[in-house]
Structure 1
Amino acid sequence: MTELVGQVLPGKDYTSPTGNGWNDTDGHGTSMAMLIAGTGDDGGIVGLAPGAKILPLRVLAGGGPNRPGRDLKRVADAIHYAADHGAKVINIAIGVPDLSSSPEDRAPLGPAVQYALKRGSLVFAATGNDAQSGNPLSYPAATPGAVGVGAVDKTGTVGKFSTYGPQVALVAPGVDVPGHCSKSLAHYGDGYCIGYGTSEATALASASAALVWAKHPDWTNNQVLRVLINTAGKPKTGKIPSEYIGYGTVRPRVALLDGAGDPGPADVNPLFPNLGSPSPSTAPAGKSSGKPTQAGAARGGGAGDTGAWMWAGIAAAVVVVGGGLGAAVLRRRRAH
C-alpha cells in the first residue's frame, strides 16, 4: 500500500529468526498502521497521525496450534522491545480470553506492561469484540497498567460487539472504519474494505495519544493519558467511568486545538494510581462483572472476535512519538 511507503522501519519477527516483522498475511496489521500513520498517497488512507513511522513486531505465526504460553511470552517480549526502542505509545490489538489461558501463560504480561510504563510508555489494548459472545476478559488488555479501548460508531453509540466492563477506560471510532484487506474481499478499489472492531478503535486512540504527545513532548505518559481522559466526550447522563465507554470518547481535537485538559502530576497514573510492583493476572476471572472498579483503576480487557482463542486484530501496534506531528512507531502484526 503506497500510503505506508517510507513509513515502515525495520522491526522484529518473533516467529522467525530471519524476519523483520514486515510479513502481514491478511492485511489487518497493515490496516491498523494505515489508521495511525497512513499518508494518503495515491488516494490511500490518511491516518490520524500521518507523520508516523511504523515499527513492525510480529508475534504470531499463521496456522498451526494456538499455544497461549508461547504466544503471550512473545507479546511480553515485544512490549519490552518496543519500550527499549523508544516507543511512547504501545497499542495492542491481540486478545486471549481468560478462560483460554492460565495465570502461568499470562504471567509475563504484567511485568512487561509495568516495565513499559516505567520506561515512560503508554500501553493501549483493544477490549475485544465479544460483548455478544460471553463478554470475557482477555489478555494482555486485562493486564494491570494497560488502557482498555472499546469501540463506538459515528453517533457515539457503543458497538454491539464491543466488550464491556470495568476494563474499558476509553472508546474511539470502531464502526465502518476503512482499512486494507485482500483483493477478494475488497469493497472499494484495490484491497480496501469497511470494517469494525476494537482494534480499529485502539489504533485511533493510540494515534490520538501520539498527536497530543507530539505537541507536548515534555509531558510524561501519565500526563498525556490524563489529558485524553479529561478531554474525552462524556454522555449527558450515566455514571463515569461507564462499563461501556469508560471515561468517554477520545477527542484529540479538543486537546490539540482548544488546549483543554489539565495534564496534572507527572508521576501519577490517572487509571492506576496505586499500581506498584508487577502483579500479573489480577483481573477477575470469567465474565466481566459489569461493575466499574475504583476511579483510576479501569483495566483493558476483552478478546478478539469469538471462540476460545481469537485475536481482535494485529498482535500489537506500537506508536513512538518523536519530533514533529506524531513521529510514531506502530508495531504491526497480522492476526490469525
Structure 2
Amino acid sequence: MASDVQSEQWYLQPMQAEQMWKDSTGKGVKVAVIDTGVNPHTDALEGQVLVDDVPEAVAYGAADDYTGHGTSMAELIAGTGADGGIKGLAPGAKIVPYRIHLKGLTGVEEKKKTALPAEAIRAAADTDAKIISMSFSLPYLDQEVEEAVAYAASRGKMLIAGVGNDGTTGEDNIGYPAAAPYVLGISSMNKDNKISEFSSRGNYVDLAAPGEGMPGYCRPSFESYCHDMKGTSASTAIASAAAALIWSAHPDWTANQVTRALIDTAGRKWPKDDPTQNAGYGTIRPRVVLANPNYDAGAPYSDPLAKWNQEKGKKLVTEIPPASAASPSATGSSQAPEASSGADKAAAGSKPDKTENVAAESSSNDDNSTLWIALGAAAAVVVIGGGAFVVLRSRRAT
C-alpha cells in the first residue's frame, strides 16, 4: 500500500521534484493550513506539524481532523514520505494547522468551539507563517472574511485558495476566498495536461496546478489512503507547496514577488497579459524560478494580481506595504458558517475560455512542456452564514 501511494503522485516527475529539491525543499517556510484540522501523527507528518504555533484563541481541535481533508492537504504540501506515505512537494516546509467550521463537523459544542474562517485567517495573519493555504470555498464573501483577507495581505501573507469544483455547471462560478482580492485562485489540471472538467471557470482563476488522481484520506480513521481523489483543494495544496519552495530559496522576497514569480514562469500558450477563464496565467512551474538565479521578481510591494474595485466605496489598492502593527484579534460571529472543503460558487467576471489544453511551450529554462496539475479531495458543498457581500477583483497585466 505504502509504495503504491507514492506511485500515484504522478505530478512529481513532470514537475521535476527531485531536481527542485536539490535547490529548495521549502525549509524555513511555515504554511498555515486552514481546513478541518490536521492529524500530526500520520507517518508522513511526524515532526512536520507545529500545533503549538496556533494562536490560543483559535487552537481548539487544530490537531483533531474531523474528516481527513486537512491532513490530506498538509501531506500534499509537506509530507515526508516516511513509511511510504505521501511525499509533499515541499517536504522541508512546516505546517501550522487551523480547524474551522466546514461541512462534516458535527455536534453543537464542537461547532461552537471551532473557529470560523475569518477568525482563523486573521489569527494566521498575526503569526510568522508566510503562506495561508485555504482548500475550502464559500459561495459569497461575507464582510468578516473580506476584511480578514485584506488584513492578512497587509501583513505580508500569501493567500492561496481553490476556485471550486463547479465547472460542469457552465456558469462563471468561482468560489470565495479564491475570488477575493489578494488571493491566488487555483484551478485543477489532469494527467493529460488539460483543465479538469469539474474545475470552476471564471475571471478569477489565476493559476492551474495538479488536482486529479491523487491519494488522500477520505475518513478520519487515517488507517489507509483513498485513491483517485480529485478537486481544487489538492491544487491549492500543490500551489502552496510551490510557493514555499520559491520563498525558501528567496527568503527576502515578499508575497507579491513570489506571486509574480509563479505568474511570470507559468506554462501557457497565450500572452501573459491575457489570462484565460480556465487556467488563468497558466500552470505552475516553480522549477523555472529555482533554476534561474538571476530572475527579477520586481517591486516588493506592488500586487501583481488584484486591486480593489470601487465597489463598496473601497479605494483601489495597488501597493500593500507590511503593516507596522498587528490589528485587534478577530471578532467572532454568532452564526456559524458552512463552507465547502472543495470549492463552491460565487459571481465572477467573464473571459474567453480559449483552450482546454494548457501545455506550456518549451523555453530556454524549461525543456519539458508537460503537466503542472492540481489535485484535491472530493469537495463537500456548504454555505457560509451571515450577510453576503460581493467584492470585485480586476486583474492587472504583469
TM-score range normalised by the length of the shorter chain: 0.7 to 0.9
- Give 1:45's aligned amino acid: I
- Corresponding residue for residue 235 of structure 1: 269
The question of whether the paired residues in 2 share the 8 Å contact of 1:226 and 1:262 is answered with no
8 Å CA contact 2:208–2:283 kept in 1: the answer is: yes
> How large is the RMSD of aligned CA atoms in angstroms?
3.5
Structure 2 counterpart of 1:111: 147
CA distance in 2, matches of 1:75, 1:24: 15
Judge conservation of contact 1:111–1:278 (CA < 8 Å) in 2: no
Residue in 2 aligned with 1:226? 260
SS of the aligned residue for 1:82 comes to helix
1:43 corresponds to which residue? 84
Normalization by structure 2: what TM-score? 0.63
Q: Describe the superposition over 1:98-151 as per-residue Cα deviations: whole angstroms up to 9, x where unpaired.
A: 3xxxx6xx0012221121111111100110001113552322222221111000
Structure 2 residue 103 is the aligned partner of structure 1 residue 29: no
Counterpart Cα distance in 2 of 1:278 and 1:90? 25
Aligned partner (choices 135, 147, 162) of residue 126 of structure 1: 162
> 8 Å contact 1:254–1:260 — kept in the other structure?
no
Q: Which amino acid counterpart does residue 263 of structure 2 have in structure 1? A: I
Name whichever of 149-158 and 56-65 sits farther off: 56-65
| 1:179 and 2:253 aligned | no
Change (3 A) 1:267 1:148: same
CA deviation vs aligned residue, 1:190-240 (integer Å, no higher than 9, x gap): 334221110100100011001100000011111111001001101258983
Q: Whose Rg is larger?
A: 2
Q: Any idea what SS the aligned residue of 1:6 has? A: coil
1:156 aligned partner, one-letter code: N
The 8 Å contact of residues 76 and 234 in structure 2, kept in 1 or not, is answered as yes
Letter in 2 for 1:47: G
Q: CA deviation at 1:177?
A: 1.7
Is the deviation greater in 51-60 or in 122-131? 51-60
Normalising by the residue count of structure 1, what TM-score does the alignment of the two structures yield?
A: 0.74
- Write the mapping of 1:70-109 to structure 2, written as runs, cut at 5 A: 74-98=116-140, 106-109=142-145
Tell me how far apart the structure 2 counterparts of residues 26 and 286 of structure 1 sit (CA, whole Å): 25
2:51 aligned counterpart, secondary structure: coil
- Structure 1 unpaired stretches of 5+: 293-303, 311-336
Q: Name the structure 1 match of 2:281.
A: 247
Secondary structure of residue in 2 paired with 1:193: strand
3-state SS, counterpart of residue 185 of structure 2: strand
Give the superposition deviation at 1:37. 0.5
Match of 1:139, SS state, is coil
**1:175 match: secondary structure:** coil
Q: Is the 8 A contact 1:12 1:20 kept in 2?
A: no
Residue of structure 2 equivalent to 1:332 = none
Q: What residue number does 2:6 align with?
A: none
**Sequence identity (%):** 41
C-alpha contact (below 8 Å) 1:227/1:255 kept by paired residues: yes
Q: List per-residue Cα deviations over 1:152-182 (Å, max 9, x = no partner).
A: 1123200000001111011101111222233
